[in-house]
Homo-oligomer: A and B are copies of this chain.
Amino acid sequence: MTDLSATTGVTDRPSGTGAAWDLVSGGPAYERISDFLSRQAPETPCLVLDLPTVRHRYAGLRSALPDARICYAIKANPEPRVVDELVGLGSSFDVAGLGEIELCLARGAAPESISYGNTIKKRRDIARAYEHGVRLFATDSEPDLDNIAAAAPGSRVFCRILVDNKGSRTPFGRKFGCPPETAVRLLGRARELGLDPYGVSFHIGSQQLDPDAWEHGILAAREVFEGLAGRGIALRMVNLGGGLPAAYTQSAPPLQEYATRIEAALDRHFGADRPELLVEPGRHLVGDAGVLRSEVVLVTPETGSDRRWIYLDVGRYNGLAETEGEAITYRLRTSRDGDPVGPVVLAGPTCDGDDVLYESTEYELPETLRAGDWVELLSTGAYTASYSSVEFNGFAPLPTHCVDGDERTERP
């Protein structure tokens, strides 16, 4: 068993990150990945995904929120092998656009399992989704609703409302969602347009560290239900969005705590009239399944400081887009763990001044680390490979390899 809890690389390491959030109970997943890396010695940088971890996470969520329909937010990682796993488990899918719909269908997902969750869509993409059999659409504006009515007649729609994102490491700002009173108007209009006003969605921000964050969304959803009931329309569904965390350096409560608080809020605001539930996990299902292996390109001293700059062969433009603003702080392992550590700045390999991963966040890494050594970024299964640039600075996109128990397969 490899104890990963000892190697976050962060000076002011929070306590309580614990095994519950680790690469699934600490050992076997990491050992499978590590074994693959030593046997195959793939070129770095590369992402290795442990498929049993994805299955384990799906089962855990299934059991924590047994009434919720799980719609995997495929944008987190559209790796076909991950989609295959989730199709096999009976998951539904939250998609952002036509490309993702076609990927799901190509991997055997049923059209009824697809929720077109993007409120920004071209009318012709709605039409194409409808031709593919998709019948469930998010909306938050009148023009989009009109498009759905015209291009996907009779479909179910849910309205996304705007809620507070406090507590999220990557909040959404005001790009999506409308006030509850607008939702009442839009869903009323949906009925007039021949659509099926199905429910309400909200998103409390990705990597949400406060399990109480869902409370006000559920309350706001209840208000929309009541507003529509006053117009003789019975909504049936609340979509709890995403936000469930992966194991980065910040401490996050265990999944059960999220489930308990969400269930309590539902009881409080809906009582016996419990609606159907949807949940849209992305990061939570795949984040902890991934390890990104990189190589140290260069170690240089910082002028006038005791810090070193560690340049890796992975950076913001070939996989680590979520280090923008140092929002997501990955746990690290290195090939020199155990040696004395000192403060570092971590940067990527491109000629771009913005390609610095962590300069404010206080990471410490072994003093012995040098070019050619490896650094692993843990819990990098979400929002990494698919964010890679096509060829910025002539660097190739981050390749993904999958491991699965005894069988080890590779997909570049």
A-to-B contact residues, CB < 8 Å:
73-75, 78, 95-103, 117-123, 140-144, 147, 162, 170-176, 178-179, 182, 205, 295, 297-300, 302-303, 309, 311, 313, 317, 321, 324, 347, 349-356, 359, 370-372, 385-397
13 A-B pairs within 8 Å (CB atoms) are namely: A78-B391, A96-B350, A99-B394, A99-B395, A120-B297, A120-B349, A122-B371, A141-B298, A143-B300, A147-B371, A175-B309, A175-B355, A386-B389
Contact A121 B297 (CB under 8 A): yes
Contact A391/B122 with A173-B356, A298-B141, A353-B175 known, Cβ cut-off 8 Å:
no
Contact A99/B300 with A75-B351, A356-B173 known, Cβ cut-off 8 Å:
no
Contact A391 B175 (CB under 8 A): no
Query: A350 contacts which chain B residues (CB < 8 A)?
Result: 75, 96-97, 118
Question: Bound state CA distance, A394 and B352, in angstroms?
Answer: 26
Contact B386 A388 (CB under 8 A): no
Contact B295 A122 (CB under 8 A): yes
Closest Cβ of chain B: how far from A163's Cβ, in Å? 12
Contact A143/B353 with A175-B347, A387-B392, A394-B100 known, Cβ cut-off 8 Å:
no
Contact A393 B351 (CB under 8 A): no
Question: Bound state CA distance, A293 and B58, in angstroms?
Answer: 41
Among B173, B300, B356, point to the contact of A141 (Cβ < 8 A). Answer: B300
Contact A394 B297 (CB under 8 A): no
Question: Bound state CA distance, A394 and B387, in angstroms?
Answer: 10
Contact A371/B175 with A393-B75, A394-B75 known, Cβ cut-off 8 Å:
no
Of A78, A370, A387, A389, chain B has the most CB atoms within 10 Å of the CB of A389
Closest Cβ of chain B: how far from A35's Cβ, in Å? 25
Query: A352 contacts which chain B residues (CB < 8 A)?
Result: 75
Contact A298/B143 with A394-B78, A394-B95 known, Cβ cut-off 8 Å:
yes
Q: Which 7 A-B pairs have the closest CB atoms?
A: A99-B394, A172-B353, A100-B394, A96-B393, A141-B300, A96-B351, A120-B311
Of A100, A324, A371, A394, chain B has the most CB atoms within 10 Å of the CB of A394
Among B140, B142, B299, B397, point to the contact of A390 (Cβ < 8 A). Answer: B397
Closest Cβ of chain B: how far from A95's Cβ, in Å? 7
Of A117, A182, A297, A313, chain B has the most CB atoms within 10 Å of the CB of A297
Query: A392 contacts which chain B residues (CB < 8 A)?
Result: 75, 386-387
Query: A395 contacts which chain B residues (CB < 8 A)?
Result: 96-97, 99
Query: A295 contacts which chain B residues (CB < 8 A)?
Result: 122
Question: Bound state CA distance, A101 and B95, in angstroms?
Answer: 38
Among B97, B122, B144, B313, point to the contact of A393 (Cβ < 8 A). Answer: B97
Query: A75 contacts which chain B residues (CB < 8 A)?
Result: 350-352, 392-394
Among B101, B170, B371, B385, point to the contact of A123 (Cβ < 8 A). Answer: B371
Closest partner residue, chain B, to A371 (CB atom): B143
Query: A118 contacts which chain B residues (CB < 8 A)?
Result: 349-351, 393
Question: Bound state CA distance, A280 and B386, in angstroms?
Answer: 31
Closest partner residue, chain B, to A351 (CB atom): B96
Query: A95 contacts which chain B residues (CB < 8 A)?
Result: 394
Contact A299 B143 (CB under 8 A): yes
Closest Cβ of chain B: how far from A348's Cβ, in Å? 8
